[in-house]
Amino acid sequence: MGFGGRVALITGAGSGMGRAHSLTFAARGARVVVNDVNPAGAEETGRLVRERGAECLVVPCDVSDSQAVNAMIARVGDTFGRLDILVNNAGIPDSGAGIEQTTDEEWRRQFAVHVEGTFYCSRAAIPWLRRSPAGRIINVSSMWGQAGHHHSHAYCAAKAAILGLTKSLAKELGPDKICVNAIAPGGVHTGMTAHRSPEYLAEQYKTIPLGRWSQPEEISSLVVFLASDEAAFITGQVIPINGGQLIVGI
């Protein structure tokens, strides 16, 4: 699944899954645009991408700021003259709050980053994706956007909203030959989940047929497949990647 100089923009790429996605695209010949709200994390990912011999542009910004997103996409166009793949990966952790403890600020911030960020980046990227021979949008939702949870309601609702946006975009952009899909990971070992205790993880593993959480690179394998020519007839889909956890009735 080589990308032959195509340009892939990954949001939230300063660490965790986003960094893994960036490095995986780089290894397959893509030119990589690294975005993150944390400039230091973005620069470190950019350094690692370049170490792998790939061209890289680092553009730190907050994806919940529409003007900043527009400026980022304009810079991508000025630098590379094209954009082929958008991975809307930027996200923030859930709070673990019950509904009565969920503040207005928490609710708005979850939607600002996950939903508005996905919307702003997609809207700004579409004119470039229309010019691509293989335009792709991959949105990162969550297993909890599919199943819900007994807490973290703002996170679950925001991740579920991404699924509706994915399907709508797939319908509108299909005639432009732009494929739009979402992935729904379960537990992933990243810095965002590093605070989980061994006891918590042990209980989680009991609910997963494969008996573990995934590594970020395993999620990246699915992302690059959806971005590849091999996935040219897949659009409007939500693809779970959770070790079977969703099928056992979480």
Is 155 catalytic? The answer is yes
CB-based contacts of 213: which residues, under 8 Å, 6+ apart? 186, 187, 188, 189, 193, 201, 204, 205, 243
**Which one from 120, 155, 200, 205 is the annotated catalytic residue?**
155
Location of structure tokens 């907050």: 62
Helix %, strand %, coil % of the chain (to 5): 50, 15, 35
Separation between Cα atoms, residue 42 and residue 53, nearest integer Å: 17
Residue 118 contacts residue 167 (beta carbons within 8 Å):
no
User: Hey, which residues does 57 pair with through a beta bridge?
Assistant: 33
Helix (H, G, I), strand (E, B) or coil at 48: helix
Which residues are designated catalytic?
A: 155
